[in-house]
Amino acid sequence: MADEFEPKIVAFLCKWCSSAGSDLAGVSRMQYPPNVIPITVMCSGSMSPLYILSAFKKGADGVLVSGCHPGDCHYIKGNYYARRRIALVKKLLEFIGLEPQRFQMSWVSAAEGTKYTQIIKEFVDELKPIGPQTKLRRSS
Amino acid sequence: MVSLEELKKEAQMLLEEGKVKYIVGYERSTNGLMPVPAFIKNPEDVERLVWDPSCIYNLTRFLVDEKRRKEKEKKPDTRPVGIVVKGCDSRAVVVLLQEKFINREDVFILGVSCENTGVVDEKKLAEKLKGKKADKIEFSDKDHFVITSNSEKIKIPAQEILAERCLECRASFPVISDVLLGEKVERRPDEPFKSVQKIESLSKEERWAFWKEQLDKCIRCYACRSVCPMCYCDECVVDTISFAVTADTAAEEKAQKIKWIEKSPDSSENFVYHLVRAIHLAGRCIDCGECERACPLDIPVRLLNKKLEKEAKELFDYDVGFDPEKPSLVSSFKDEDPEDFIR
Amino acid sequence: MEKILRKKSFPQWVKKLESYTIYAPTKNGDLWIYEVINHSEDINLDYLNTVLSPKKIIFPQREILLEFSASDDGNPEIKEVLPEENPSIVFGVRPCDAKALTLTDQVFGGDFDDLYYWKRRNQAILIGLACNTPPSPNCFCLSVNSSPHSKEGLDILMTDLGDRYYVESLTEKGNKLLNLAKKLFEEPKAKDKKDLEKIQLDSEKKIERQIKEIKKIPPKLKGMFDSPFWDEEAMSCIRCGICTYLCPTCHCFDISDEVLSSSPLEGKRVRTWDTCQFPDFTMHSSGHNPRPDKASRLRQRIMHKFQYFVERYKNFQCTGCGRCISKCPVGIDIIEVLDKVRDYGT
Amino acid sequence: MEPNPYIPTLAKIIQIKEEVGGARPIKTFRTQFLHENGFSFRCGQCAMLSVFGKGESMISISSSPLVEDYLQFSILKMGRVTSSLHEMQEGDIIGIRGPYGNGFPIEKWKGKNLIFIGGGIGLAPIWSVLHTALGKKENYGKISLIYGARTSQDLVFKEELEELRQKMEVHLSIDVEEPEWKEFVGFVPINVLDKKPSPDNAISVTCGPPIMIKFVIQNLEALGFKDEQIFTTVENKMKCGIGKCGRCNIGLHYVCQDGPVYSWAELKNLPQEY
């Protein structure tokens, strides 16, 4: 079992909600797969597509962008902008043939520790069967 | 039919009255069919202006250069610049106005309608002529082109040699202009996104194989970026050092410029460059097709932008470059924007 | 040593060259690009010219110079990375591209030998194909001391006589390849020689474009550094890198460090193509840029090829292949610019 | 195997001295090669310093060739490579390759009066030729230095400058008035006019920001200096250092090989592109 593929997931978590949600999961000792490399961003609206593509280039098998539910955004409309931008990035990545499961977005509020662990579990389970991401990864 | 004489007359009048600094148009080149951009300063030179199906370039790019030059001059001549624009090019002017990059009084728009046809695709024409050299091409009656190839006149239905984007054209006459030549012909292409759908219909692995083979050819000459009127950032993600640098910019700031994309034409670097460029043009690209025409390796980079134009239409019902007052795609939102993909 | 090779026995010759890596122009859409081909595949030699010259085989767009990594005490260690042994043959080299390599040889030789360039250069055998008809409407090789059948820089020159090739081997390397398949080659008869001369003469007449009185241009350029001519000429330039990346003689490059991981430090120092048309080519980190605008960069491209290189290496740094004219997105035509330089102020 | 000009030799930083603090800090680094490799150079030559993972930067060697056991570089913190050099400690390893450039033709200046004119970090290339001349003082006439910087804080090699006053004339200046500053206040070119060095049997060497060099040369010509008596260095951007990458050219000259030291007689006829 040891050499089973363990996907590496880079998660961009909005500081006000999702990052707090993941902290809540940690504080309440919830069990969830350790494949996540969390990066806190000030708002999902500040997510530049470049971060996502750069993560895939550096070898991420999956990328998650998680922000506040619509209406909860600390900056009022950051997550609304993010919703459009991430939808476009997702469509473009599918257009060039990247597996759609590799790039996810979620709303996780500061109180949704369990939802956060649930999303990560599902994400890891979806990534395991499709193996490591070799398409955008920098090889030579 | 658009009369070239009328265009010349308009241009001459503008120059004589000194209402414009210079006029950007098309003029005959010395090597073959394709014209070259003309910068006409004095009235008698308007004779050099031409208008025919080979006038493909999107001249809006030179409004960006004009602005950069003005910023550097101490006492700039602030008169507007005259520019000859087709339907698609005019939408590029609209996007520049929408983004407040230029002001309406900076530009005097000489609009020219393509009416029922459009501009020629060099490759399709070359195939059609099977090696014969085309010296001249002209509009002829409603929807034909006449090509003179060493004094032999060949009439070809325009539909067969039109540029890809003209087959999917959504504005055959300028949406914004100070002077408009030619009739306004409404154009509703039945399949506005046919070229994109061809790729979408492939399987995931086929799409990946297609893009991998195409983008591996890229030699990073950045012609697709340089020819695009919307790519006007002072500093681009691909530039190795920071440009907006003055004598007292702190060393830390220069040292911390992140190298997002390496200079070497490695497959993943090429992908990140082309995808970031496409995303930065989402809701801004008006499909003038210049990036694909300029690419020396014939990489279909236009399709990346066209895909996002299709998504902008389908997901957010957003039309690019028709209304200078409308907010741009990614700096606006609606409550009913789709979120089914969000967990 | 001059031979005749029947076209039908050409594939057998290629099969005999198993021990080499073979590059040949292959069709890719409407373009021709040099690719490695396997030996059984037959080589298609009725092509115009490739988008990128064989320069990309001898001076690739990306060359790893050295690898650096952190040793266990944290200090950096470096390892030189030279191109690997790869004896190769390049088929279908046009005379202008071959002559271009003799120009870049001068740059990469001199006091400091560039080992990377010379490793690839010495292990490549160049088999030329004379241009019976000019590959591009913008060819002007005759104006810059070259010709559609020039032998400079080539190991073998093949000329298509219809059903057979007239094969002229010019170097030891060329002879070696012929000797590998001696019986495929026949001695040329008088008729072959007559056909060859006729084709060579015809091919020269078919060249449509030329630079008249090119000798006048270098001295004229010397006096035109501060002339406003360059501002007008560069108005339509969009500052892309096509003219220099496609040029077979352009050799400018950049050296940069690519980091795979920062701690522990691991990465490569890489040489990549660069172009004087980009602003960051000459920009100091203080922000001062000796060539701040596109006019000064167009001036640099023209002056370097038709004055600086002439003074330094006694040759025009241009072999008239016409790629920069055909592929410029805004139709800047180097011949027209040079005509204007020659007649400027008269 | 022939030497590969692109491969640096590893060297250890044995001493770092903070010359100038503040927003435009300057540090002087002394480096020693890990394995002796006979790196001999002439004063005024430069070397390409490598910080692996960041890149390379061409820096003039400010120690005199007479000094055998270390190479000294005075570096102004300006961009990516120089900033990472400024964050290094003693004992760190960097790469050095070179020497590059033509260096000062000091052997031709025997018996001449030497006037060195420097601005800001421009004193670094002068330091090497100045100490070489002082090392063989008997071969040369009067040696003097006119050096200035923006503020007294920005003056480099402050202690050594005081010691030099016993051996030669030293005229310092700062651009803006400061309370306890007793010497000249104003730009270096104006200080040159103020000090009026005499042109007969003299050689002048000027290094500093391009704008300062331009005006110093004008003023020297006004004082009667001929073009062959005026020397300067040109600081173009460099990457390969061996005359191949095509980046540092002024006309047909590659500054990294044919320069960086030029007499005004030569530089005057080259395109003013630096």
Q: What percentage of chain C has pLDDT greater than the value 70? A: 100
- Best D244, D258, D268 member to test C by mutation, with max C CBs in 10 Å, is D244
**Chain D residues within 8 A of B257 when measuring between CB atoms:** 80
Contact assignment for B251 to D84 by CB distance below 8 Å: no
**Chain C residues within 8 A of D99 when measuring between CB atoms:** none
User: Please, what is the Cα angle at C89 between C86 and C93, to 5 degrees?
Assistant: 135
- Best C77, C257, C297 member to test D by mutation, with max D CBs in 10 Å, is C257
Average pLDDT over residues A126-130: 95
Q: Is the ipTM of this complex over 0.85?
A: yes
- B31, B239, B298 ranked by CB distance to C280: nearest: B239
Number of domains in chain A: 1
**Chain A residues within 8 A of B276 when measuring between CB atoms:** 49-50, 53
The fold adopted by the segment(s) D9-100 is: Elongation Factor Tu (Ef-tu); domain 3 (2.40.30)
Q: Residues 68..87 of D with a Cβ closer than 8 Å to B: which?
A: 77-80, 82-84, 86
Residue A85 forms contact with B (CB below 8 Å): yes
**Chain D residues within 8 A of B248 when measuring between CB atoms:** 23
- B241, B248, B252 ranked by CB distance to D83: nearest: B252
Alpha-carbon distance of B191 to A114, in angstroms, equals 46
Total CB pairs under 8 A between chain B and C: 120
Contact assignment for C112 to D7 by CB distance below 8 Å: no
List the domain boundaries for chain D.
9-100, 106-233
CATH number for the domain that contains residue A96:
3.40.50
B76 cis-preceded (ω within 30 degrees of 0): no
Domain that holds residue A119: 9-130
Alpha-carbon distance of C266 to A67, in angstroms, equals 34
**Chain B residues within 8 A of D78 when measuring between CB atoms:** 251, 254
User: Please, what is the Cα angle at D44 between D40 and D47, to 5 degrees?
Assistant: 60
Residue C195 forms contact with B (CB below 8 Å): no
Smallest Cα distance from C194 to chain D, Å: 44
The answer to whether the CB of A80 falls within 8 A of the CB of B188 is: no
Residue C40 DSSP code:
T
- D93, D239, D257 ranked by CB distance to C255: nearest: D239
Alpha-carbon distance of D273 to C279, in angstroms, equals 14
Alpha-carbon distance of D96 to C78, in angstroms, equals 12
- Give the global pTM: 0.94
**Chain D residues within 8 A of C311 when measuring between CB atoms:** 252
Helix-then-strand count for chain C, H and E = 13, 12
Contact assignment for C61 to B264 by CB distance below 8 Å: yes
Alpha-carbon distance of B119 to B122, in angstroms, equals 9
**Which tokens sit at D237?**
């951007």
Average pLDDT over residues C125-136: 94
Taking CA atoms, what residue in D is nearest to C303?
A: D251
Contact assignment for C235 to B39 by CB distance below 8 Å: yes
Where do we find the tokens 């501009």? B119
What pLDDT shows up at residue C171?
95
List the domain boundaries for chain B.
1-120+167-190, 193-343
Query: 3-state SS of chain B?
Result: CCCHHHHHHHHHHHHHCCCCCCEEEEECCCCCCCCEEEEECCHHHHHHECCCCCCCCCCCHHHHHHHHHHHHCCCCCCCCEEEEECHHHHHHHHHHHHCCCCCHHHEEEEEECCCCCCCECHHHHHHHHCCCCCCEEEEECCCEEEEEECCEEEEEEHHHHECHHHHCCCCCCCCCCCEEECCCCCCCCCCCCHHHHHHHCCCHHHHHHHHHHHHHCCCCCCHHHHCCCCCCCCCCCCCCCCCCCCCCCCHHHHHCCCCCCCCCCCHHHHHHHHHHHHHHCCCCCCCCCHHHHHCCCCCCCHHHHHHHHHHHHHHHCCCCCCCCCCCCHHHCCCCCCCCCCEC
What pLDDT shows up at residue B185?
87
**Chain C residues within 8 A of D247 when measuring between CB atoms:** 252, 274, 276, 281-282
Alpha-carbon distance of C296 to A120, in angstroms, equals 55
In this structure, is residue A114 part of a structural domain?
A: yes
pLDDT > 80? residue D38: no
Query: Would you put residue A98 in left (φ > 0), alpha (ψ -120 to 50) or beta?
Result: beta
Residue B45 forms contact with C (CB below 8 Å): no
Smallest Cα distance from D216 to chain C, Å: 19
**Which tokens sit at A50?**
């470049």
The 10s digit of each residue's pLDDT in D221-247 is 999 999 999 999 998 999 999 999 999
Query: Residue D172: CA atoms inside 13 Å, Cβ hemisphere, count?
Result: 24
The fold adopted by the segment(s) D106-233 is: Rossmann fold (3.40.50)
Map residue D234 onto helix, strand or coil.
Answer: coil
Considering chain C, what is the average pLDDT of its residues? 93
Label residue A140 by pLDDT band (50, 70, 90): low
Residue B42 forms contact with C (CB below 8 Å): no
D3 cis-preceded (ω within 30 degrees of 0): no
Q: Taking Cα atoms as reference points, which of D40, D199, D202, D213 lies closest to residue D120?
A: D213
Residue B258 forms contact with D (CB below 8 Å): no
Residue A15's φ and ψ, nearest 5 degrees, are -60, -35
Label residue C241 by pLDDT band (50, 70, 90): very high
List the domain boundaries for chain C.
2-65+81-205, 214-251+276-342
Alpha-carbon distance of C117 to C106, in angstroms, equals 11
Q: What percentage of chain B has pLDDT greater than the value 90? A: 68
The 10s digit of each residue's pLDDT in C315-342 is 999 999 999 999 999 999 999 999 999 9
Where do we find the tokens 């090789």? C141
Q: Residues 123..182 of D with a Cβ closer than 8 Å to C: which?
A: none
Residue D184's φ and ψ, nearest 5 degrees, are -65, 145
The 10s digit of each residue's pLDDT in C168-224 is 999 999 999 999 998 999 999 999 999 999 999 999 999 989 999 999 999 999 999
What pLDDT shows up at residue A2?
58
The 10s digit of each residue's pLDDT in A77-120 is 999 999 999 999 999 999 999 999 999 999 999 999 999 999 99
Residues 6+ apart with CB under 8 A from A85: A45, A47, A49, B279, B282, B330
pLDDT > 80? residue D2: no
Q: How far is residue B264 from each of residues B268, B270, C258, D53, measured CA to CA in Å?
A: 10, 9, 9, 15
What pLDDT shows up at residue D10?
94
DSSP H/E element including D170 = strand D169-174
Taking CA atoms, what residue in D is nearest to B249?
A: D78
Residue B135 forms contact with C (CB below 8 Å): no
pLDDT > 80? residue C153: yes
pLDDT > 90? residue C237: yes
**Which tokens sit at C263?**
């701690």
Angle between helices A78-95 and B302-316 (to 10 degrees): 130
Which residues of chain B register pLDDT less than 50? none
Residues 6+ apart with CB under 8 A from A44: A12, A14, A18, A65, A66, A67, A68, A78, A79, A82, A86, A105
What residue type is C139 in one-letter code? Answer: C
Average pLDDT over residues C6-32: 91
> Can chain D be said to touch chain A, i.e. do they have 3 or more Cβ pairs within 8 angstroms?
no
> Can chain B be said to touch chain A, i.e. do they have 3 or more Cβ pairs within 8 angstroms?
yes
The 10s digit of each residue's pLDDT in D146-191 is 999 999 988 999 889 999 998 899 999 999 999 989 999 999 999 9
Q: Taking Cα atoms as reference points, which of C301, C306, C315 lies closest to residue C242?
A: C301
Residue C283 forms contact with B (CB below 8 Å): yes
